[in-house]
Amino acid sequence: MKEWKYHPPPDIDATMLESLRDFPRQPYMLVYAVRSIAALLMRVWMKTYHRLEVVGRDNLPQSGSFILVCNHTSHLDTLSLLTAIPLKMIHHTFPAAAADYFFSSLPRSAMSAIVINALPFERKVKGAESLAVCSQLLANDGNILIIFPEGTRTTTGEMGSFRSGIGRLIAGTDLLVVPCHLAGGMKAWPKGRILPRPHKLRLDIGAPQTFSHLEKNEESVRAICQDLEDRVAQLGSEDA
């Protein structure tokens, strides 16, 4: 008879805030249950209060890991993308969220980690380490990473330039990248407003792209960022 040994979870001595900020997280069934219920409620809210329309849903890859990139107008961007993916994938979908904002307090950390399943991303320091975590996540089959390459929400309605992180992450890899564009987000929930307005949203999902033919160098990084920025902007022009 084998001797039974108890192996406590790695975060047993961590504070609640430390556990929520930690990534990858430990799989807790209660968290999965709360996230599943929240996802159902969120879909009802997005489709009724914001009349969310999703165009091009069939462009989402049916297998493997991939990345969703989107313009960044409000907090509704993430919720719209989470509503667009199949419900069975919510525990395998990870929006990259600014650690200095979304994981700055216990309430925000709980909402980000438990409900949204966000991946803490360091914008100001340890950017390379955050990209390494993203790479490890995508190396496991069946994960979805959501990234907003502008880095911050727009305050003017104009789309900003895509930062180099997305290019560094995918240059020379077989990873599929799906460009997306959300229209109406800034009018519904502009930066600085506490609660969103009942404004209609439209999410356009473009065809998946791959940049395996490009070498990992600065020129490739710039080319990828510009290509994806143009594709997201083009989807936006189709909304007009």
Q: What does the pLDDT look like over 155-201, one tens digit per residue?
A: 888 999 999 999 999 999 999 999 999 999 999 999 889 999 999 99
Binned at pLDDT 50, 70 and 90, residue 10 comes out as: low
Rounded average pLDDT over 10-30: 72
Residue partners of 42: CB distance under 8 A and separation at least 6: 79, 82, 83
- Supply the pLDDT for residue 5: 56
Region 96-100 average pLDDT: 91
Per-residue model confidence (pLDDT) at position 25:
77
Report, as an integer, the average pLDDT of 68-88: 97
The pLDDT score that the predictor gives to residue 100 is 87
pTM: 0.90
The answer, yes or no, to whether residue 6 has pLDDT greater than 50, is no
Angle at 125 between CA 165 and CA 157, to 5 degrees: 55
Give Cα 102 to chain centroid, integer Å: 13
1 three-class SS: coil
pLDDT-based confidence at residue 84 (cuts at 50, 70, 90): very high
CB 206 within 8 A of CB 145: no
Supply the pLDDT for residue 126: 64
Query: How would DSSP label each residue in 81-117?
Result: HHHHS-GGGGGGEEEEEEHHHHTSSHHHHHIIIIII-
- The DSSP call for residue 159 is P
